[in-house]
Each structure stands twice: as structure tokens, then as C-alpha cells.
Amino acid sequence: MGLLVTHLSLADFRNFERLELEPSPTVTVLVGHNAVGKTNTVEALQLLTAGTSFRRPSPRELVREGERSARLDARLEGDGRVIELRCDVTTEPSARRFSRNGKRCQAADMPGDLMSVLFSPDDLSLVKGSARLRRDELDAFGRQANRGYANVLAAYQRSVEQRNRLLRDEYPDPSLLDAWDASVSLGGATLLAARLRMFTRLAEKVSRAYEAIAGGESLSCAYRCTLGEGCEGMGREELRELLLERLAANRPEDLRRQQTCVGPHRDDVTFTVGGRDARTYASQGQQRSVVLALKMAEVELAGEILGSRPVLLLDDVMSELDERRRAAAVEFVGGGIQTLITTTNLGYFSPELLAAAEVVRFGE
């Protein structure tokens, strides 16, 4: 069964002076006009479960205008356990403090009890947008699915940043560059190995979900590694040696461009729909199907990895989907997973779904 969010409480968070919400174990539909706080509610749940928000806000943005602090609490219950997650946000000092069952912890420690998978209109640019969006999507999933992932990613990013700083020096010291090559290749190989393990499992599920949504049309996704082809089958040590070799070979080019051009921070994911590169050829509808399939795959993989189902946060995506894809999404959320859906229009949902769901009206 796993954990469910049974209570969410917000004080002076965004536009809310106070909000108390008891989500349904299945589907909760948050309905209301624009700017009443529907996305803010979803954001609060993401902050508490993932330790981050898709909007990347500063503490000042999170605290209600005119106030100095905000408080977010969620209660998770299931399997005979009760877990209290809390986030205190202050503007002076500008900080976010997390705690779990009353014990202070880091943002990176917040995932692990209950994963959240968010699907928002911003995600619709995943297919055609920059490679960074696709890497960020994988890394956001990795951070929640694997406790060590956030630290590995942060350490690697710091090494790349330090190496880039050195590359921008007027006369970079080659022995210092050697040291950063060693650090970048060690961190990069650890990150890449973790990403590839996760990606391989995800890719197969994305293809399956896509075929179900798109009525048999095929989708394949591939990890495009700056180290070249064949990385999927390599172990961490092999990846480290290869990355070290490539950093050395690429050094003249990196010096010229004053940045590190190989490594997992430059990798990408490609989607091929019906044999064609989706980035160039996919229609709006196909792009939406790819993203929906990706989110469905994340939900499935999260369940496999953590042994319990995540909470699904669908922020205003129904209006972005056509009837067929909306039906696929509704069928998916009807499958017993705890889901919060925001919408301005209940007309997107079937009477059966609404009868089974908890409908919460905002701004009335």
C-alpha cells in the first residue's frame, strides 16, 4: 500500500494565510479560477516530498507578501507509520529549514518516504526544448529515487565548475587541470552510471506507455552520451577511464572554448516517434503523448524502486491534452494512485471520476 498524504497544512505560504487540506487516498481535484492558489498547493506538496520546487523559488517568493515566515506541514500515513514532514521558510535570514518527525534534516533528505511525480504545462517543452530540460527531468527523478544521487550530482557539478574556472584563467596550470580531470571523471562516472541504470529501466516503460496512449505508434528513447556509443553496458570504472581519456583528448578544445565539453552535464535524451526524431518532427499531440508516457513511466518506476506508489501531481494539464490523451490520463489516475489534479474546469472529467474523487473548490 505505502504512504499516502493525509493532511496538508500551510501558513503564510504564497497567497495562503492558512490552508488545511485532507486529500483523498485516490483522486483530489482542486478546482477554481485563475490565481486562487491551486498551483501553489501542488508546489507545497512537491517541496515537502521532494525537498525542491519546480519553480525554483527564493524564500522571499514562498512567504506570503508582508510576512516574514511561512510554515508547511504534511502528514503521511500508511503501513502502520505516521510521518510528519515540515518546512519552515524565513525571509530574514533567507532560509528554508526541513524536518522529518521533528528532527532537522537537509532538503536532499526529504525524498525517500513518498515520491512525487509532477506533470505541469512547463513539461510540454521537454521534447523540443533544450537538452538541459531532459537532463534536469532525469536528475529530478534520480534525486527522489536514490538518496545518494543529489550529493553525487552536486559534487560533479562543483568539479565541472572548478575546472571551467581554471579553463578561463589566462595561463591555466596543466597540473591543476590534471587534478580537476581526475575529479570530474570520478564524479562524472558515478553520476553517469547511476543515470544510465535508471534510464534503461525508464526507457522501456516510456515506450510501452506511449504505445498504449498513441494507439500502437512506436516510441523509442535513447541516452545520448558525449562519451560516444556503448556507454550503457559499461561499469563505473570503465566509464571513469573513458571520461578521463576524453577530457585529456578534448583539452585543447576546452581551453579554446573555456568550458568542459564532455561529460554527463552535456548528455541528452532523444525520443524517436514512428522512426523519426521527435525533436524535429513530432506534432504537438505526439509531444504531449511522449511527456504523458514519460510521467506514467516515472510513476511505475518509482513504485518499483521504492516499493510504494508515488503521489501524482497533475497541475492544469488536462486543458493541454486532447480528448484521447485526456482519456488516457484519466484512466491512469483511476488506477488507484493518490493524485492531486488542478483545473479551472470540471468539464474535463467524466462523471464517474468526479463521483469517486474529492472535489475541493478554491476561491469560493
Ligand X SMILES: Nc1ncnc2c1ncn2[C@@H]1O[C@H](COP(=O)(O)OP(=O)(O)OP(=O)(O)O)[C@@H](O)[C@H]1O
Annotated binding site for ATP, which residues?
Answer: 32-39
Binding-site annotation, residues: 32-39
Residue by residue, DSSP assigns 131-182 as HHHHHHHHHHHHHHH-TTHHHHHHHHHHHHHHHHHHHTSSS--HHHHHHHHH
Rounded Cα distance, 279 and 269, in Å? 10
Q: Which of 316, 330, 332, 349 binds ligand X (CB under 6 A)?
A: 316
Residue 35 binds to ligand X (criterion: CB under 6 A): yes
Q: In angstroms, what is the minimal distance from the CB of 293 to ligand X?
A: 24
> Which range binds ligand X by CB under 6 A, 62-70, 285-293, 297-305, 332-340?
62-70
Q: In angstroms, what is the minimal distance from the CB of 62 to ligand X?
A: 6
**3-state SS string for 269-320:** EEEEECCEEHHHHCCHHHHHHHHHHHHHHHHHHHHHHHCCCCEEEEECCHHH
- One-letter amino acid of 123: D
Q: In angstroms, what is the minimal distance from the CB of 20 to ligand X?
A: 16
Residue 59 binds to ligand X (criterion: CB under 6 A): no
Q: Which of 15, 69, 162, 308 binds ligand X (CB under 6 A)?
A: 15
Residue 86 binds to ligand X (criterion: CB under 6 A): no
Q: Which of 2, 3, 10, 37 binds ligand X (CB under 6 A)?
A: 37
Specify the residue, 123 or 300, whose C-beta has the smaller distance to ligand X: 123
- Report the C-alpha dihedral over residues 353, 354, 355, 361, rounded to 10 degrees: 150
Q: Which helix (H) or strand (E) holds 208?
A: helix 174-213
In the block, cell 504564497 appears at 14
SS3 103: strand
Q: Which of 64, 86, 240, 309 binds ligand X (CB under 6 A)?
A: 64
Q: In angstroms, what is the minimal distance from the CB of 14 to ligand X?
A: 4
By CB under 6 A, name the binding residues for ligand X. Answer: 14-15, 32, 34-40, 61, 63-65, 316, 342, 344
